[in-house]
Every structure is written in C-alpha cells, then in structure tokens.
Amino acid sequence: MRDMALFRRRREYSGPVVVGRPWNDPALAAILDTAPEMAPEQAVEVALDFLGPIRGDIERHVHATNVLDEMLNASAEVMRRRAGRSSADDGRTRADLLALLGNVLIDQAWEVRSSRPASQVSQQEFRGFAALLHEADEVLAAALEVEPQHPAAAAARLLTARGLQVEPEELWRRFAEATAKRPTLYLAHGMTLAAICRKWGGSDKEMFDFGRHVAASAPAGDPVVAMLPWAHVEYISSLVMLPAEERGEDPDKLIQDTRRSDLPAVLAASSRWCGDGTGPIPAHPSAIAAHQHFAWFLSYFPPHHDRARWHLERAEGRMSTLPWSYLSADPAAKFRQTHTRLGIV
C-alpha cells in the first residue's frame, strides 16, 4: 500500500509578509509612518533630530541614515540649500546632513539607472546615473572633511565606489575608512561584498574569499558573519547575468556544488553568531536581514531545516530585499515558498 503521506498537500505559509522594513526599531518606524504628512523642510529636521542622539551607536546610526533616505527624496533641494550655508549647523549635524543627502542622491541615481543589466541601460540613463553618483560622492567626501571617518558617510562611499567603478585600491581604502570606528560594520561589509562580485567587475574568488574570511574571523555574537551566505546570493545573481554560453552546461549544478562546499562554514558562522539558539543574541539593526540569508541558504539542506526554520522565524515576516529580490521576479512569493518548505505556516 502506498504511503498516503506522499499525497498530502503541504500547508502553505499564511503569515505576514512585511516588505521594506527588515529591522526592529519602533522609533524609526514611527518616523517613516508619519513621513508622508511632513513638508520637505520638516522631514530634514526630523531626520537630523533622530540621528543626533544615536551617534554613539554606530550600527544604528549608519542603518538609520541608510533608511531615512526613504522619506527624504523630496527634500534633496532643501538639503542642498542647507548644506550650502556652512554656518547653519554644528560640525556633527552638518556631517549627518551631508551623509543623508549623499544617500538620497545615490537612491536617485539608481532610479535613473534601475537594476537592469548594463546592456539594457541607455547612454542617456548612464550619463544621468554617473552625474548623480559623482555629486553624491562629492557630498559624502565633504561630510568626511567635516567629520573624518563619519561611518555613515564613509559607508555610503562604498556604494558610489561600486557605481563609479573605482580602482580596487581606492575601494579598499574606503572600506578601511568606513570600518575604522566599527571594524564589523554590517553595511560596509555588505556594500564591499557586492562591489567585488563578478557582475561588478570583481571575481567569484575574491568575493568568496572575503565572505569566508569575515565569517571565520568576526567576533562571536556579530551578524556580519552573514557575508558568507550573502556571497552565495551574489554568486547566483552574477551567474544569471552572464551570457548563456559563459554559464557552463549546468549552472544549477555549479550553484549546488558551491553551496554544498560552504555548508560547514555557514553552519559554523551561524553558531558563531547565535550559538545554539537558546541564549540571548545581541541586538543589531541588521539582524533580521542576516537571519534571512542563513535561512535561505540552509533551506536547501533538509538535515538542517530546524536551524533554517529557527533563523527564518526570527524575521517575523519582515522580508528583506536580499536574498529574495535576487532569486525571483516575485520576491514575496519566494519568501513565502521558503517558509512553506521549512514548515512555517
């Protein structure tokens, strides 16, 4: 008699999918909730008032600077004018202002270029993209003149470095500057990982070497170890963008074999960050996103589904952009499918 379990329909995930806020900061969320009601000038003041008191928490300050640009797109001209008044703010506030403006200009640059392959971007779009990135880079450099090693400004210059295709020596100089005050700064590591992947002119070897080194050397309790599963996401994205004749006969096997070879290191990294999952984990603004990298990677290994499930449950339905947007044209569907695969309903 056939095992009827084979015919049972797997229950699908029916929980929440919250797009765009893969972090747990109620105060920051409250600002973004009320942002649509703010005038451009007010939005700038609110953002600066939020950033001032948290400068001592570097991870949170950098994360918030990166997130607050969501509400400041319409405030770019206000910030440009304010930045032109050199005596309008004290040095640290001015550096925060310039870091915010730089991030907004980066967002605007990507709106011009989009995430399409380079072959699908027109020359006019490339020119607009480059012009905005150059302006952003100059603004961020000005922030660093006001406050050397300002972590948020320095981290954002890793984003402009990638788009402007700076020389490797300059990229690593910027990485050193961005991590001077916080050696494991999550955003700085993620932006560097992306900048050295194959699709941006780097190589798979350089990217994996970086991800593996970070995973093995980061201090216990730090989610920056997620650079290793993140590297596998970038690997897939780079492979997909290659012309068909350059992908090899069986790209899926390449992906699976590469993932399998790093399984022990990813498991070790998960334990390095979270232990056995029974103890408290240090709070971190990028923790929810890091959990999703580990959950996605481990979901391909049934013997480790318990660990993958534990990681994904920590996200509480808050979907991060990566890995899902690089893996499917419907990221939310991929996010749900992974829940279902792991038995989270």
**What are the residue ranges spanned by the domains of the chain?**
26-195, 204-345
Using CA atoms, how far apart are residues 75 and 140, in angstroms rounded to an integer?
17
Q: Give me the residues paired with residue 319 across strands.
A: 19
Using CA atoms, how far apart are residues 35 and 21, in angstroms rounded to an integer?
15
- Report residue 247: phi and psi, to 5°: -85, -15
> In this predicted model, which residue has the larger pLDDT, 118 or 218?
218
- Is the pLDDT at 112 greater than 80? The verdict is no
- Is the pLDDT at 86 greater than 70? The verdict is no
- Rg of the chain over all Cα atoms, to the nearest angstrom: 21
Average pLDDT over residues 27-45: 94
% the chain with pLDDT above 70: 92
| 25 neighbors 285 (Cβ within 8 angstroms) | yes
| 214 neighbors 227 (Cβ within 8 angstroms) | yes
pLDDT at 4 (0 to 100) = 34
* Pick from 70, 6, 17, 72: nearest CA to 42: 72
Considering the domain 26-195 in this protein, what is its CATH number? 1.25.40
Those residues whose C-beta lies under 8 Å from the C-beta of residue 325, and which sit 6 or more positions away, are: 331
Using CA atoms, how far apart are residues 128 and 113, in angstroms rounded to an integer?
8
Could you give the residue ranges of the DSSP H alpha helices within the chain? 26-34, 40-51, 58-68, 76-84, 91-113, 123-146, 151-164, 168-178, 186-195, 204-217, 227-241, 251-261, 263-274, 287-298, 305-313, 324-327, 331-341
pLDDT at 6 (0 to 100) = 34
Those residues whose C-beta lies under 8 Å from the C-beta of residue 63, and which sit 6 or more positions away, are: 23, 25, 186, 187, 285, 286
Using CA atoms, how far apart are residues 211 and 246, in angstroms rounded to an integer?
24
Question: Picking from 194-203, 244-253, 289-298, which range would have the lowest pLDDT averaged per residue?
Answer: 244-253
- Is the pLDDT at 249 greater than 90? The verdict is no
- Is the pLDDT at 318 greater than 50? The verdict is yes
- Is the pLDDT at 7 greater than 50? The verdict is no
pLDDT at 14 (0 to 100) = 87
| 140 neighbors 151 (Cβ within 8 angstroms) | no
% the chain with pLDDT above 90: 74
Confidence band (pLDDT; 50, 70, 90) for 115? Answer: low
Average pLDDT over residues 275-301: 95
Question: Picking from 201-210, 216-225, 234-243, 308-317, which range would have the lowest pLDDT averaged per residue?
Answer: 234-243
pLDDT digits (tens, 9 = 90+) for 69-84: 889 988 889 999 988 8
pLDDT at 166 (0 to 100) = 93
Q: 268 exposed, middle or buried (CB, 10 Å; 0-12, 13-18, 19+)?
A: middle
pLDDT at 3 (0 to 100) = 39
- Report residue 18: phi and psi, to 5°: -100, 115
